[in-house]
């Protein structure tokens, strides 16, 4: 975590991954469509003298242009409507300058300091302590924060969280996550519907004088959809956790206050889960509460690891007394230590060289 900005390799890799994810979407759509055809013909049967696999292949080839057009349409909708989709499932509502001048000014000052376009602001009515960024271009980028976060973090900590999300936008992480969540998510949705349907009904293969089904085709179709579903989930899990370390580092570079980031992480830990929000969207959030065995499959490193990285690399310090979040509705302001932190350099590193005396 040596640098936060100027990470051109990281940004380039994110652009490459974004293109690969879009290409992968088409592959997953083709696999899912073929699996659905196998299941449909396996159930309904095909005329005597034909095979289910042959008939499914023939229909798939004839429908290929329409399947491709449908995938392209979904990509278009995902790129144009992703913020609205995410806002719909999180309940986020736009926040104008006059609604919260202080919060707006915090984000605006961070943008001015780096010459970045000002993203939109949104608020989520939730007691959870969390934030996330969404959008795929400058006209869409939005930073959303929960009411719980604003109520229970002090100004320096809120600023650190905003700087973290702003770094995600600059590094191209948000665009990558939107593609993974919104676009690949439709495959997971189809897979879930199929398997829920099979969980509620018995497999009955058509077999009459005119048509004959195939249990093998049904099993293969289910397996193909299961593979597509697994790959769609794997897309999310394959996203590098390093993006969170880099965003933490970017926040420190912007605010010159690693202690505020550490304090924010400690307050948010264990209180980040936004009720009713899908796991894919939670992957986009500032914190996603991984713990124990689940940490192996999380898109976020644990708070412990993030704090350790800030201490070892950014010169941050643990609070003398770990911050205990106040009750909902109360506000707790910790000493920000901004002046002392700034004196230790742009990364707040401890002074190098021999000490006094």
Structure tokens at 224: 């193909």
* CB contact burial 101-114 (16+ within 10 A = b; e otherwise): eebbebbeebbeee
The residues with which 342 forms a beta bridge, in sequence order, are none
CB of 105 closer than 8 Å to CB of 115: no
Structure tokens at 201: 């009904």
**151: phi then psi, degrees, rounded to nearest 5:** -75, -30
Cα-based angle 32, 281, 146 (whole degrees, multiple of 5) = 165
Q: Which residues contact 117 (CB under 8 A, 6 or more apart)?
A: 111, 138, 141
Q: Would residue 353 be called left, alpha or beta, if left means φ above 0 and alpha means ψ between -120 and 50 degrees?
A: left
Q: Is 125 a catalytic residue?
A: no
Nearest CA-CA partner of 336 in 168, 62, 106, 104:
106
Q: Considering all CA atoms of the chain, what is the largest pairwise distance in Å, rounded to the nearest integer?
A: 100
**What is the distance between the alpha carbons of residues 17 and 30, in angstroms, rounded to a whole number?**
20
Catalytic residue among 55, 159, 165, 244: 165
Q: Where in the sequence numbering do the catalytic residues fall?
A: 165
């Amino acid at each position: 975590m040596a640098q936060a900005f100027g990470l051109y390799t990281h940004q380039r890799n994110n652009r490459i991954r974004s293109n690969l994810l879009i290409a992968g979407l088409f592959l997953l759509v083709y696999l899912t469509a073929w699996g659905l055809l196998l299941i449909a013909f396996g159930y309904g049967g095909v005329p005597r003298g034909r095979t289910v696999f042959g008939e499914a292949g023939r229909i798939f080839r004839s429908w290929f242009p329409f399947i491709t057009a449908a995938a392209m349409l979904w990509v278009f909708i995902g790129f144009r409507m992703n913020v609205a989709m995410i806002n719909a499932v999180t309940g986020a509502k736009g926040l104008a300058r006059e609604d919260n001048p202080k919060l707006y000014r915090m984000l605006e000052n961070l943008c001015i300091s780096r010459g970045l376009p000002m993203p939109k602001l949104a608020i989520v009515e939730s007691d959870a302590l969390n934030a996330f960024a969404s959008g795929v271009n400058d006209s869409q980028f939005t930073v959303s924060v929960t009411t719980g976060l604003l109520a229970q973090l002090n100004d320096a900590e809120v600023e650190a969280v905003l700087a973290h999300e702003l770094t995600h936008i600059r590094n191209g992480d948000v665009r990558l996550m939107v593609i993974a969540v919104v676009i690949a998510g439709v495959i997971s949705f189809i897979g879930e519907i199929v398997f829920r349907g099979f969980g509620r009904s018995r497999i009955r293969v058509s077999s009459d004088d005119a048509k004959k089904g195939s249990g093998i085709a049904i099993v293969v179709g289910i397996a193909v959809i299961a593979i597509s579903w697994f790959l769609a989930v794997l897309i999310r899990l394959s996203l590098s956790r390093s993006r969170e370390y880099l965003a933490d580092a970017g926040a420190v570079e912007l605010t010159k206050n690693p202690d505020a980031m550490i304090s924010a992480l400690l307050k948010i830990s264990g209180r980040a889960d936004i009720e009713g929000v899908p796991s894919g969207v939670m992957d986009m959030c500032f914190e996603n509460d991984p713990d124990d065995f689940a940490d192996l499959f999380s898109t976020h490193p644990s708070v412990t690891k993030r704090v350790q990285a800030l201490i070892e690399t950014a010169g941050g310090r643990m609070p003398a007394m770990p911050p205990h979040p106040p009750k909902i509705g109360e506000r707790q302001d910790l000493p920000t230590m901004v002046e002392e932190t700034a004196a230790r350099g742009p990364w707040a590193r401890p002074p190098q060289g021999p000490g006094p005396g």
